Structures are given as structure tokens and as C-alpha cells.
Structure 1
Amino acid sequence: MAEDNDTKPLSTETTPTSKRRRKKSLVWEHFTIEAVAGGCTRACCKLCKQTFAYSSGSKIAGTSHLKRHIALGSCPKIKIEKQEKKLALTDGQNDGNTTEPPREKARYRGASWANALFDQDTSCFNLAKMIILHEYPIHIVEHPGFIDFAQSLQPRFKMASVDDIEGEIISVYLKEKQSLLQVFGTMTGRISLTISLCTTSQTLGYVCLTGQFIDSDWRLHRRMLNFIMVSSPHSENALSEAIGVCLSDWNMSTKLFTITLDNNCSSHDIYSANLREHLTNKNMLMLKGQLFVVRCYAHILNVVAQDVIASIHGIIYNIRESVKFVKASPAREEKFAEIALQLEIPSTKTLILDVATHWNTTYLMLVAALEYKHAFTFLETCDESYNEAPSMDDWKTVEIVCTFLRLLYDSAIFIMSAADPTANMFFQEAWKIQLELTSATKSEDSMVSSMAQEMHEKFDKYWKDCSLVLSIAVVMDPRFKLKLVEFSFSKIYGEDAPRYVKMVDDAIHELYLEYVAQPLPLTPAFVEQGDAPVTNGSIDSNQAASPVSTGDGLLDFDIYISEMAVNQQAKSELDQYLEESLVPRIQEFDILKWWKLNNIKFPTLSKMARDVLAIPMSMVSPGYSIFGAGTGSRVLDEYRSSLRPQIVEALFCAKDWLQFLPTMTEPPSTALVKMEV
């Protein structure tokens, strides 16, 4: 039943004519009447422009639904207006002025903002970004709770279907891929890849390829490039084929430098031989592929650490159960603290429980428990319910294990602390562990030597495989150059050190000559103040052969000086670099900044340094924990395993790319057409 006295429809949008009685209901301050086809009229909200049924012929819909739209806040413009008024009042109170801003001004501002805020396409695009970034299931668009939530925020938003949101995800992926292709198009150096395997509950699997490179401004970047489904992920040809697809997809067939693998030792050898032969035959590799395959440093740390922990799993079980017993209740913790105080144990460490999949937490648990070993022994004598205390021999074993684990733990922490872990950082860490394990194998303590032998067997294989690339990388560090290699090798190899140093020196010079054979970019030549003009690294031959005599009778001296200058200039950039004094070792030293500043001085060598320093010696991305890196393949969850490969790749790659954007609010590009899915 109508709730006012207006029963006849109007034929215009304006208020009634002077001949008719003016409408009394307050809703008409917010609505106008619009005529539609068939002699019907609809009430149109002045703010949000939504229309509602008002009359159909002689039937009047009334105004109750119109009042609800205004009074209950269904109108988004009214809601915004109220929020702005509330904010304005709060600001006024903070300023000591509680005067409410003019109503019309607030209404105009709220309506204008809302019109600019809502756009269906932009909202769908941002919804796709949200699903990608936070790994929500695509079917969230069908969840009733999410639909209700989105509707309460913006009633005008039409929820996308699963097919539509998949199309939006592909659109995001293609847009960001296009941007990354432009970056690679301007890249002057080479790119190094990391490859990891990801299996599913089915027989299928995925190969994840990530690229690392240093741009022209000497900034280190790491981007996921492909997430490709393969039918036999552990076959010998799977990685070769994936690399081929990746290089072709990104137009980088001639820019591959190295590849880092995370698979175990036995399969590593198969993949290494297969990949090296496949790509060397196509003349794609530098230094005949000697640097091509790199093993992940984080992976070898985890393998060695977890093997050590597994060797004393029974003792660790007793310690873990002992810690659980003490921490089971506040009364027990208090009693344990009293025992520690009574025994005058000086430790301030707190007992912690480990996470079995993260060996660093097991190490920290053992270190803390070791300091309370006498307290645990005493607790067993005074508490009949506790019988898990390790023996003194067990504690001795734990002490030895912690000594070895600390080597690995400190090395991992050092690598994780670097914002940009360039390849030069890893040599010093690796050779220290190699030296310590080699020395420990000669220990007179049979337990120490036995444990060190097992660790050294695995780490020594890593050292033999990667010592060359590690050495070349540290030579590119102006604080160390070849001097640290000479010093380190003398500690490890003793009298055989010169032979190993020569192998590194020869490889560096051979690699440098390959870069000399490549054309240089057009950059100003570097000339020391007072030197003769230099062309392609040598003095102009005519000038050198015809010194200008000053008429003082020292023509022979001028010839002598010219010959000395020619000999000096004949030295390569690499030799000049190696002969210069070492740069002081300061904590805030930035190696990328140093090479950027010396790019003109060493134009060819800097190209080599850029590629070498960008080698990913660890597959763990900056900001992530090395300790959580598994020793085997990742397993894709059931939900993502059920998605089409195209969508899986878009989800993984786009998430990686989006996190590097300066803002997440840019509108969707109109340059890309959404793919049919």
C-alpha cells in the first residue's frame, strides 16, 4: 500500500507541477521520477543513479523500498557521505573545532570519489591480483561468504565466474610478462638459471626455471621465468627440453651463462652431462661449459646437516622428550630453574623445542639443552616420572655434533644476511668448511674423525664440482682477487696449491679472452690523466714510433720512454686489475657499486664481472630461509595439481613478478586481449 498521497505517475523527471500538490515524503529529496517505456515510471537515486520500480499504469509501488535504500545505508554514496562526515567531525574535534562541514560540500565530494573509485573491469583485475598474490583458490568467486562480503563493500560489483577470473589471471600474467620481456630486451649481459623440480600426486610434474641477472645499472634481479609441466620430470631429457623452451620463450638463446640445480648427487651427474653436451653442441656456453652446472650451496648445507642430525637421532629424541617434559607445566619449569640455580649453571638460554623439518631449530635446541646437561641428570634423580635424561657419553656426542653444525649454521646465517647475495660471497664460506672438515678427519678423537669423514665425503664432492666457479667469482671481488684463492688453496692443498691456483688463473684468462672477442658497447674510453690517447687498449702506433724530440739531446731517452709506455699499455684489463692493490675490506663495501664506478676503466672485464657475480650459487631467494630448503623435489598441493598447466604457470610466475611492482593499484592494460580459457 502506498505510504504517501501521490498515486499518479509523473511523465517527467522533475517534481510535480504547481497544479499538483508537492510531494511530502522525505525520500524525494534523494530521488527523481523517470518515465520508461510502457507508461511506467521508475524512481532514480540522485546519488548512485540506481533505479527502482515506482509505478506501472495505475499501480504505485510506494516508497518503503526507497526509504530503505536511504535510511539503511544501501546507497553507496550515502555510506561514503556518512564516513566523510564522521572523519570531518573527528578532524574538527582534534582541531578544537566541532563545526560540521556544509552538507552539500560533503555530498558532492563523496559522490565524486565514489564515481572515480568503482570500475567493474578494474575491480575484476584487482581480484585476480589478490588471488595470485595470496594463493587463494580460484573458486573463491563461488564461495557464498566471499560473494556476500564483496557485495557489502560494493553492491554494483558483479562477481566474476571461474572462467572469467581465469581469463583475468591470464591477462595479468601476459601483461607482466610483456613488461619483463622489455627488460630482457635491453639486457646487455647474460642470464643464469636455476632449475627445481615440483612433483604432483599424479605421474606428472613441473619444472620451475628462474633467471638471475645484473642490469645495466648494476642491480641484481631474480625472476621466475617458466613453470612448465613435464610428463617425466626425472628423465634425463626433461631439464634440457625445459631449458630450450625457456630460452626460446624469452628470446635468450644466446645469453645463457650458468645453471644451478638442486637435485641430489646421483641424478646431478646425469643432468650435468646431459645438459652440458646438449648446449655445448650448439655453442651456447662460455669456457666450453666448465662453469655451466652449479650446485646449490644451501642444498649442500642442508644435506650435510640433516645427515649429521640423523646419525644421532636416538639422542636427539631423548633431548626432545626431555625438553617437552620440562615445558609441560609451569611447575616443572620452575622446578627445573631451581635445579639450574642450585647447580650454579650460568646459562641464560631458554629451552626450546625444534621443528623437525628445519635443522637450524634442532641445532638451537641442542645448544640450549647442552648447557643444562647436569640439570637434566639431576632432575632424573629427584623426579620418578622423568627417565629420558641422556648419558654423559650422549652429551659428549651432542657437543661434537654442535661444533660441526655451528660451521654450517653460521655460514647459512651469513648468506641469508645479504640483501643481494652475489656469487663472490660464497667462496670464503665454502673453503672454510672444506678446510675445517679436512682437518677434523685427521683428529685423534675417533668420534670426531668418524663424523667429520662422513660430512667431508659429501661436502668434498660439492667443493670439487664448484671450486672453479667459486674461485672465479671471488677473483672478481677487488678486496680479494687471486690473493685469497692463493691463500685458501695453500691451506687446503698444501704443496699442491700452485697447481690448483694455476688452473683458476688459466680459466680466468681464457674466459676473459672470450669476452674480448665480443664487441664492446659504445662507451667513452678510459684514459689516465697524462697518458697518451688509447685506442682499443694500445697507444697509437704512429705516435709511439715517432716520439717528438724536444731538442735537448735526449732522443734516445724519449724512445725508451715510448717503448715502456707501449709495454705497459699492452697489458690486458684483467692483468691490470689483478696487479692493482686490493681494495680495503670495509663492512659496508658494495661490490656492484664498485664495478659500476669502474665500468669505464674496465669495459671488457666489467662485462665478465657482471655475468660472473650474477651466478646464483644458492637457489634460495633473498629474504627466504635457507634452512627450509628441502633436499628433494617440492610437492604441488592437490588443488593446484588439478588446475590446467596454463593456469598453474600463470599463478606461479605472476605472483613472483607482482611482488616487485612499486604499486598494486595500476589499472588493467587495454593493450592485451584476454585469452579464451
Structure 2
Amino acid sequence: MAPRSRSTKRRRFEPGSVTRALSDMIIVNELPFSVVEEGEFADRMEAVFPGFHMPSSETISRVCVQYFMDEKLKLKSFIKSTNQSVCLSLDTWMSKQSVNYLCITAHFIDNDWNLHKRIIGFSPIGGDNGVEIGLVVEKCLHDWGINNVLAVSAGNETSNDAAVLKDNDKWIVRVRAAVSYMLRSPSRIKKFEDFGRQHRIQSDSCLFLDSPTIWLSTFDMLDTCQKFEDVFNWFDEKDLMYKKMLHKTCGSPVCIDWEKVRKAVCCLTGLFWLTGEKKLDPNVSGDI
């Protein structure tokens, strides 16, 4: 019996489909475009697809960008045709090169009640300033033709540079400084508590200093402090050291500051009520 001859047929494939599959792999696995120029990778591709002309890194980058533009066009058409409502989540983080980035993700439900999540914006920003972030978000929504935004949450798990209540809000800085002054000395704490009891201020909370990068922590601090507004005002009037120390830096909390504290607490308490949660994710951050 004559031995079987090996088939010399070459495997048929569509170069365009292979290139598209290659771009899929690079995107999904977050590979560098330069992977197509690595010798071992090219050898493996040749073994699977003999005769396939490996694109350069510049070519595959253009393919990936075009892939993105095609998908973006499809999503924009869907949003326009359905007048889709979306929820947005924002995330800021800093790269190793000390460049701040803002990622904008849209969450929505299609006509078949399937939940979708799409990154619709990713761009460098000058910092975590709320005004700048707002302008970037506005431009992104305009670019995508999104008119119906149900909610915006600012999740920030990779950067400690943002918080819902910013340090550049001077009223928060003053309240934080007043709390810090009290907590520096056991005698001040005792004096503070004694005065609170004398004026029958009912509260199970104790003064504590917040973590400026965690908005829930700042909310709890403000919620506690507003209950002791009269005590802080008494210190401002009677304690010369209190006034001297605080007025050297940012000043002590005044009437308008306490009004802002009450408004912030009311706003965030309402948010807790709307979400049906007593506590929010402490990593959530953003701007009021």
C-alpha cells in the first residue's frame, strides 16, 4: 500500500478577518501595539495562518482606532434612535507619570432589559477640580448626543486626590480646623463635652477628624459638628487661644459656614434616603 501523501493545501483565511481578530485580541487583553512586531508572536501567527502578512504596529493601531469609531457610531445611532437615558459613573486617577485622567462610563438598559456598560470618555485633565471635570463631562455628553442623564456617581478607588467635599471649600477647611483644635488636647475635649452637657445638647456622637479623601467620613464629621454649633460659637467668643490659633490660618467657622454645613448634611442625607441605604460606599467621591 502506497504511503499517504501529505496535503500541500494551505489553510484558507480572510486576511481582513484575521486582522480584525488580532485587533480584538490586543484590545481585550490590553496588549501593546508593538506585540505584532515581536518575532515569537509573528512565528506563531505564521504557524496558524501561513502566508498571513503581519501588519505593523502603526497599521494595527489604525485598525483598533477604526474599530472604536465603528462601535461608537453604532452606539450613537442606538442612543439617538431610542432617546436612551443613561447613568454616568466618573473615575479620576493619576498615572505613574503624574498625569490625571478622567474615565466616564455610561450605564443603560436596552429594550430587552439588558444592562450595558460602555466607556464613553477617557481623557487627561489638569487635576480633580470639579469645574474642569464638569466641562469635560459636558463636552463628552454633547459629543455622544446624550440628553437624558438619570444620575451621576463619582467613584474613585484609584486616586486619593478627589472627594465630594473639597479642601478648597473654605467653610469645610474652617470646620475641620476647629475640630482639629479641640482634639489636640484632652482638656479641650473635656471642656467641649462639659459645655455641651450644660446646654443639654443631645448627641451620641463624638468629635472626630475626617479623612478629606472620603466623602462619607467628611459627611459624618459635618453631621456631628452641626449638632455642636453653639459649643463652637462659645469657644469663638470665650476662648482666646481658639480664636488666635484659627485666625492665624483659615479662621473659625462663622454663621454662613454653619448654614453651608446644614445644607450639605441635608443634601447628603437626602441622597442616602433616595438610595435606600444608610451608608454609601466610602470610596465614592465627587463634587457638590
Amino acid at match of 1:258: A
Q: Which residue of structure 2 aligns with residue 269 of structure 1? A: 165
How far did residue 175 of structure 1 move? 1.6
How far did residue 220 of structure 1 move? 3.2
Structure 1's 255 and 461: CA in aligned 2 closer, same or farther, altered over 3 A?
farther
Q: Which residue of structure 2 aligns with residue 240 of structure 1? A: 134
Alignment counterpart, residue 213 of structure 1, candidates 86, 90, 108: 108
- 1 CA distance for matches of 2:92 and 2:271? 23
- 2 CA distance for matches of 1:271 and 1:184? 37
Residue 27 (structure 2) pairs with residue 128 (structure 1) = no
For the residue of structure 2 that corresponds to 1:244, the secondary structure is helix
Structure 1's 630 and 143: CA in aligned 2 closer, same or farther, altered over 3 A?
farther
1:63-462 matches, within 5 Å, as 75=8, 77=10, 114-115=11-12, 118-188=13-83, 190-230=85-125, 232-252=126-146, 254-262=147-155, 267-270=163-166, 442=204, 457-458=217-218, 460=220
- 2 CA distance for matches of 1:223 and 1:247? 13
Deviations 1:88-129 (A, max 9, x none): xxxxxxxxxxxxxxxxxxxxxxxxxx43xx110110011000
Amino acid at match of 1:141: V
Structure 1's 462 and 262: CA in aligned 2 closer, same or farther, altered over 3 A?
farther
| Contact preservation (8 Å) 1:128, 1:165 | yes
For the residue of structure 1 that corresponds to 2:108, the secondary structure is strand
- 2 CA distance for matches of 1:188 and 1:469? 26
| Contact preservation (8 Å) 1:192, 1:259 | yes
Q: How many residues align?
A: 202
How far did residue 171 of structure 1 move? 1.7
For the residue of structure 1 that corresponds to 2:151, the secondary structure is strand
For the residue of structure 2 that corresponds to 1:186, the secondary structure is helix
Structure 1's 461 and 248: CA in aligned 2 closer, same or farther, altered over 3 A?
farther
Amino acid at match of 2:268: C
| Contact preservation (8 Å) 2:88, 2:104 | yes
How far did residue 177 of structure 1 move? 1.1
How far did residue 266 of structure 1 move? 7.0
- In structure 2, the gaps of 5 or more residues are 170-202, 224-264
For the residue of structure 2 that corresponds to 1:269, the secondary structure is coil
- In structure 1, the gaps of 5 or more residues are 1-25, 30-69, 78-113, 274-440, 444-448, 475-484, 489-616, 619-625, 633-677
| TM-score (normalizing by structure 1) | 0.26
Amino acid at match of 1:226: G
For the residue of structure 2 that corresponds to 1:164, the secondary structure is helix
| Contact preservation (8 Å) 1:188, 1:216 | no
For the residue of structure 2 that corresponds to 1:268, the secondary structure is coil
Q: Which residue of structure 2 aligns with residue 381 of structure 1? A: none
Structure 1's 142 and 164: CA in aligned 2 closer, same or farther, altered over 3 A?
same
- 1 CA distance for matches of 2:16 and 2:46? 16
Q: How big is the alpha-carbon RMSD for the aligned residues of Structure 1 and Structure 2?
A: 4.1
| Contact preservation (8 Å) 2:46, 2:52 | yes
- 2 CA distance for matches of 1:226 and 1:210? 7
Amino acid at match of 2:269: S
How far did residue 241 of structure 1 move? 2.2
Structure 1's 268 and 631: CA in aligned 2 closer, same or farther, altered over 3 A?
closer
How far did residue 160 of structure 1 move? 0.7
Q: Which residue of structure 1 aligns with residue 273 of structure 2? A: 471
- 2 CA distance for matches of 1:206 and 1:266? 12
Matched residues, percent identical? 21
Structure 1's 266 and 176: CA in aligned 2 closer, same or farther, altered over 3 A?
closer
Structure 1's 175 and 460: CA in aligned 2 closer, same or farther, altered over 3 A?
same
| Contact preservation (8 Å) 1:236, 1:271 | no
Larger Cα-atom Rg: 1
- 2 CA distance for matches of 1:163 and 1:257? 40
| Contact preservation (8 Å) 1:76, 1:154 | no
- 2 CA distance for matches of 1:462 and 1:172? 48
How far did residue 196 of structure 1 move? 1.0
- 2 CA distance for matches of 1:136 and 1:462? 46
Deviations 1:311-365 (A, max 9, x none): xxxxxxxxxxxxxxxxxxxxxxxxxxxxxxxxxxxxxxxxxxxxxxxxxxxxxxx
- 2 CA distance for matches of 1:473 and 1:194? 15
